[in-house]
Structure 1
Amino acid sequence: MYSLAPLSLKGKVSEIEWQTRVDLAACYRLVADMRWGDLIYTHISAKVPGTDHYLVNAFGLGFDEVTASNLVKVDLEGNILDDSPYQINPAGFTIHSAIHEVRHDAMCVIHLHTLATISVASVKGGLKPWSQYSLFSLPSLSYHSYEGLAVNDSEKKSLQDDLGDTNHMLLPNHGGLTVGPTVGDAFMRFYDLQRACEIQLALMQSNEEVIDIPQPIIDGIYQQASVVHSGETGGQKAWPAMLRKAYKLDPGFCE
């Protein structure tokens, strides 16, 4: 009850699946360190390259308990494919399977209930162009209205339609979501979205007049962001440093 049974899948899955497991487990540990978690109730998934299967956290484990081996592998119907003693969060299945089903470029999906993303998503007008961080998210930002606990298949279609081809999403009354072609890209996109929301929340609470960013500057940064935050200069460039941090926090995540 108070300790987890040891699990080890190293050498028992393909090399590419193992590396995906390590990256995803590291992401969970980093999210825990950033204090973006919500006990056991949010989720991050990563697709196993070359398959329609994805990895997600075991329902009931804290993010600081996630390891490469205790991640659960499921198919798009929610069937657990490995010999895991754990189950998955039904809401996590609805959200992540919906996105992986239609966004084949979205190898990683991060959905979190942070104070900042819930707050900004839930005010009229949503995210404002009030900081450099917001300008990284706004060109590819969508919204998905609250439909209650995401446990009904009926919500999958509206979620897919609302996300479209965007990479950042705010869910009013609910939280934030990002997708990416790698775990690193999805993580860095959520970092930008979270920072943008934190800054906006601080400015709103200040009750001071916000200095507007001129539209030509906004347009210019949109262009720059598409270069700076894509490919080797985006999440893929920052991820090795984040992975090193995860090892420093607790190398046990890669077991």
Structure 2
Amino acid sequence: MEIPSVKHLVSEQEWALRVDLAACYRLVAAYGWSDLVFTHISARVPGPEHHFLINPYGLMFDEITASSLVKVDQQCNKMIASPFPVNPAGFVIHSAVHEAREDVQCVLHTHTRAGVAVSAQKCGVLAISQQSTFVLASLAYHDYEGVAFREDEKPRLQADMGRANFLMLRNHGLLVAGKSIADAFLSMYTFEAACQIQISAQAGGELTQINPQIVQGVAEAMRVQTGGMGGAFVWPSLIRKLERSDQSYKL
């Protein structure tokens, strides 16, 4: 699919953001977290205008490029002409988080089998793995209200999420909010792993719970693990992994 470059239409800062966001879409596809065309990753464009980048609805995640990403305002109006639509349901969820959380640059939402499975369990995320401790340190829940295309759901979603960085959408899937695209990707990697481990562990014998005090100290553990860099610690290696297979995301 031939998509004209928009590099000459945007600032250097926005172009760098577009490249990173397109890379994130490709990595989500590579790790098997995509759901055909039905989930989204959004990123706030730097500046006072409150513009956002989101996927062109209808493209598979492994097709998305820096130029194909659609720039919209808070009302979902396109800021640069694009032949692609934006999914209203996806935009409602993402715009709700961006609107309430100025500290968030990137919102990543998935419908993986393990994520939806745990979201349907009354117990939610159990403290049974190292991965779960990182999630439980900043986890909130939002009850299912049907396909999220109604604006009136936004205040309830915002209230439920609060300042949490991990949000379990009951009977729906997983959502993370990151200060950067790299942070959001690492958070989703951890969230997804915690859910996969939980579903696998529940198929075996009695589960061993982690001491709650360990969860309380997990922020320091994460800082040590990543040298204080968060997602930026692993992002360059992820980009190298992606570039070994396909560099077209940068177009």
8 Å contact from structure 1 (residues 112, 177) kept in 2: yes
Q: Specify whether residues 232 and 220 from structure 1 end up closer, same or farther in structure 2 by C-alpha distance, changes over 3 A only.
A: closer
Partner of residue 242, structure 1? 238
User: What is the CA distance between 1:5 and its match in structure 2?
Assistant: 3.0
Identical-pair percentage: 47
SS at match of 2:103: coil
1:116-155 → structure 2 map (5 Å cutoff): 116-155=114-153
Partner of residue 29, structure 2? 32
> Partners of 2:91 and 2:53 in 1: how far apart?
11
SS at match of 1:188: helix
User: What is the CA distance between 1:138 and its match in structure 2?
Assistant: 0.3
8 Å contact from structure 1 (residues 108, 186) kept in 2: yes
Q: Gapped runs of 5+ residues in structure 2?
A: none
> Partners of 1:205 and 1:119 in 2: how far apart?
13
> Partners of 2:99 and 2:226 in 1: how far apart?
23
What is the TM-score with the length of structure 1 in the denominator?
0.94
Letter in 2 for 1:5: E
User: What is the CA distance between 1:219 and its match in structure 2?
Assistant: 3.5
8 Å contact from structure 1 (residues 98, 159) kept in 2: yes
Q: Specify whether residues 118 and 41 from structure 1 end up closer, same or farther in structure 2 by C-alpha distance, changes over 3 A only.
A: same
8 Å contact from structure 2 (residues 37, 60) kept in 1: yes
SS at match of 1:110: strand
> Partners of 1:205 and 1:182 in 2: how far apart?
35
Letter in 2 for 1:48: V
Match of 1:213 among 197, 205, 210: 210
Which has the larger displacement, 131-140 or 233-242?
Answer: 233-242
> Partners of 1:132 and 1:96 in 2: how far apart?
28
Letter in 2 for 1:116: A
Q: Specify whether residues 27 and 169 from structure 1 end up closer, same or farther in structure 2 by C-alpha distance, changes over 3 A only.
A: same
Cα RMSD after superposing both structures: 1.4
8 Å contact from structure 1 (residues 57, 72) kept in 2: yes
> Partners of 2:216 and 2:103 in 1: how far apart?
26
1:1-255 → structure 2 map (5 Å cutoff): 4-50=1-47, 51-206=49-204, 208-221=205-218, 223-225=220-222, 227-228=223-224, 232-255=228-251
SS at match of 1:177: strand
Question: CA deviation digits over 1:80-126, x for unaligned, max 9?
Answer: 11011111011111011111111011100001101111111110110
Letter in 2 for 1:41: F
Letter in 2 for 1:253: Y
Q: Specify whether residues 215 and 140 from structure 1 end up closer, same or farther in structure 2 by C-alpha distance, changes over 3 A only.
A: closer
User: What is the CA distance between 1:228 and its match in structure 2?
Assistant: 3.8
Q: Gapped runs of 5+ residues in structure 1?
A: none
8 Å contact from structure 2 (residues 226, 233) kept in 1: no
User: What is the CA distance between 1:216 and its match in structure 2?
Assistant: 3.7
User: What is the CA distance between 1:222 and its match in structure 2?
Assistant: 5.0
> Partners of 1:132 and 1:17 in 2: how far apart?
36
